[in-house]
Structures are given as structure tokens and as C-alpha cells.
Amino acid sequence: MRKLPQDRQEFVGAPQPIREDGAGATDPGPRDVLRDMQNPDLLVPPPTDAGTVPNLKFSFSDTHMRLEHGGWSREVTERELPIATTLSGVNMRLTPGGVRELHWHKQAEWSFMIYGRARITAVDQDGRNFIADVGVGDLWYFPPGVPHSIQGLEEGCEFLLVFDDGKFSENDTFTISDWFAHTPKDVLAANFGVRESAFAHIPSKQVYMYQAKVPGAIATQQIMSPYGTVPKSFMHRLLAQQPSRTPGGSVRIVDSSNFPISTAIAAALVEIKPGGMREMHWHPNNDEWQYYLSGQGRMTAFAADGTARTFDYRAGDVGYVPFAFGHYIQNTGEQTLWFLEMFKSDRFADISLNQWMALTPRELVQDTLRVGPELMNALRKEKWPVVKYSSQ
Ligand code: MN
Ligand code: MN
């Protein structure tokens, strides 16, 4: 038999699924060495990992790219990451002038601008309208059912959309062109009080996204509603918010307490410097949906009953932590790690392992864990503002 090609060739320096104590064996292939190198903790899980914990990672690089004139979109939903039932996410790019057409959906939409600028519009159920230009680090939130649009400005844009339903699909929204295309023209004529010929050139099917000219200054597009503008802004400048800082990084928390319209989704923008970590904690309210913006990190999810699983993440990945699972996030790279954590909740909430122990009778902690004064004296009654520094 002929020697198998490529796959059987050992890459010099390729990592092998062998633990320090000798457990495991080489992988002669077939194998994807580049992916193995990106997932050192899947290839060689720490010995503390145990049991069967569901997959908690999906990369946008492994999703279908919907390419349109005017931009593209791709999504990570329950279909890609079955455990992620509470939220789903869409990564979208719009060219200069590119339009995500007028549409609405059953789910709330929360968004973070990653690159460039866009103009967003919406009208609520009381005829109050909204228009704003958003840039890097800005958020927007559209309540369920409220119609809206997004258009790239001069530099185009890329953003992350998050919806409060793991089953949401960006390919299943109510679009204005789709409705027109599926309404008898005599009905359209009657509805608007015009002749049927007014609809002679409407699109025959859903448009979804299209290339248009970059719009003029916002003042040139403003329509004055007799009912005014929306009482709670649909936009929030997250990066303008003063972060909580520690030597290990920073965090900006945004929920309905400082972005009042955002009643369905709470979030934190977290920065972890090299050598830093997001301390061990869990969330008492709901699952966590993560999006990694830059750098690389690792997380172990503790799933109770002797089970735990460690994952490696990098820019463009989605991570997920089921409700109440203990976890941490360590920066494992040379670069600063930035990521977003989102929750289907009106508020952000987390419980610090360290603080819990510090505020509990000492005997209970010491006798359970068989630890001494070194640890007990290091406990902090004040919670780390999310990110602590650890010298490695
Ligand atoms: Mn939308
Ligand atoms: Mn968390």
C-alpha cells in the first residue's frame, strides 16, 4: 500500500496529545495541526478536567458567510452551538453606503460597533422616531418588534449583533421588501391610497442588504415626528463610560441601570492584560454568551458533580457558560485580551469566589478546604472589579 500523503507527515514541533505524566500518545494523523495548536487545552486537557461537558465554543470562522452587495453577515445560533439557548449572535459588515434593509423581528437586538461607523434608524409603537450615527465602542438596542435599519457611513463598518433567543436567525427577519413582494398590488394600492402602478418596480423578493450611496449629514435625513423622539435612547456610548480599572485590566458594565432601554440584555466589555485573569466567579442570573474581540485566552467551566472542561478562545470566537457554572478567563497570549460577555437579563450580576470565602465564617472555609492562614489572609472582602492581576 502506498504511503498516505500529507496527513501522515509529522510536523516538526507539532503539539502531541501527551500529558507531562506520559498519559496519551502521539497523533500520527490525519490531523489539523493548526487547529490543534489553537486549542492546546482540548488537545491536552489539564488533569483537573473530567467528565462530559457540552461544547462551549464556536468560531465565526466556521459559519456560513452570507455575501451580499453592500456587505456580509454570519451567525452563531443554537444551530451552531446547541447549548446556547438564551442568546444568539450575528457578525455583520456593511460597506460605505451598504444598507441592512428596513426590518423587524420578535427578538430584542443589542449591538456593539467593532469597526467604522453606521447610521441607525427606528420608529417605535407610538410613532416616536430615532436616528443616530454610531462609531467604535457604541451600542444600540432595539426592543422586540420595533422596525429599524443600519447603513454603513464613509468608512463602512463591522459590528456584533446579539439577540435574546438562541434560535434567532438573521435569515428569518421581517423585511419591508419581503412584505411588499408578498402582498397583492391592489391591496398595496388600497393601503396607501395610490394607483397600483406606483408599485410597478418594487423588488419581487426580499432584498435583505443592498449597496446605496453614503447618506448625507444626519441633519439632512432627520424627519420630525409629531410625537417626538424615543424617550429612552436606543444608543449608548460604552467606550465613553468610565471603566473600573485594576492592574490586570478593566471592565465596563452596561445594563438597564445605565442604558435604560436595554431591559433584555446586560453586558460587560472586559480587558485583560497579558498575565492577567478574570477571577473565578459565576453568575446568579443567567447563561453567559461571550464574543472575543482580540487576543487569546482560556476558560475552564466547572459543571458540578466532578465535571469540568477547558477551552481556548481567540478573536472571532464565541464562548458560552451555562447558568451558574463556575469559570475564570485567563489571558494566555502576549496581547491584551478584549471580550464581551452578554446575558439575557436586565442587570449584570456575578458572584466572586474570593469575596464569598472572605465573607464566610473562617472555620467553614478552612475545615472544608483544609487550607491555612496563607490563603485565608489573602482573601478580599471587596470584590475585584472583575479583572485581577496575577503574575505568572
Ligand atoms: Mn435587526
Ligand atoms: Mn462570567
Q: Give the pLDDT score at 92.
A: 98
Residue 7 pLDDT level (bands cut at 50, 70, 90): very low
pLDDT at 13 over 90: no
The mean per-residue pLDDT over the stretch 313-324 comes to: 98
Q: Rounded to the nearest 5°, which phi and psi values hold at 191?
A: -65, -40
pLDDT tens-digit series, residues 127-168: 999 999 999 999 999 999 999 999 999 999 999 999 999 999
pLDDT of 192-226, one tens digit each? Answer: 999 999 999 999 999 999 999 999 999 999 999 99
- Mean pLDDT for the chain? 94
CA of 103 to the centre of ligand 1 (A): 6
How far apart are the C-alpha atoms of 40 and 32, rounded to whole Å?
Answer: 12
pTM reported for the whole predicted model: 0.94
Contacts of 327 (CB under 8 A, 6+ apart): 280, 281, 282, 288, 299, 300, 301, 302, 321
Looking at residue 387, what is its pLDDT?
63
- Reply yes or no on whether the pLDDT at 385 is more than 70: no
- The confidence band for 247, taking pLDDT boundaries of 50, 70 and 90, is confident
Q: Nearest bound ligand to CA 161?
A: 1
User: What is the spatial distance between Cα 107 and Cα 81, in angstroms, rounded to a whole number?
Assistant: 18
341 as an active site residue: the answer is: yes
Q: Which residues, other chains included, contact 221 with Cβ-Cβ below 8 Å and sequence gap of 6+?
A: 119, 131, 215
Considering the candidates 68, 101, 279, 341, report the single residue annotated as catalytic: 341
Asked if the model's pLDDT at residue 259 lies above 70, the reply is yes
Q: How far is the CA of 234 from the centre of ligand 1 (A)?
A: 13
Closest CA to 387 of 299, 238, 271, 268: 271
Confidence band for 334, pLDDT divided at 50, 70 and 90:
very high
Q: What is the pLDDT of residue 246?
A: 86
Q: Is the pLDDT of residue 389 over 70?
A: no
Which residues crowd ion ligand 1, with CB under 5 Å? Answer: 109
Q: How far is ligand 2, taken at its centre, from the CA of residue 277, in Å?
A: 12
> Nearest ligand to the C-alpha of residue 159?
1
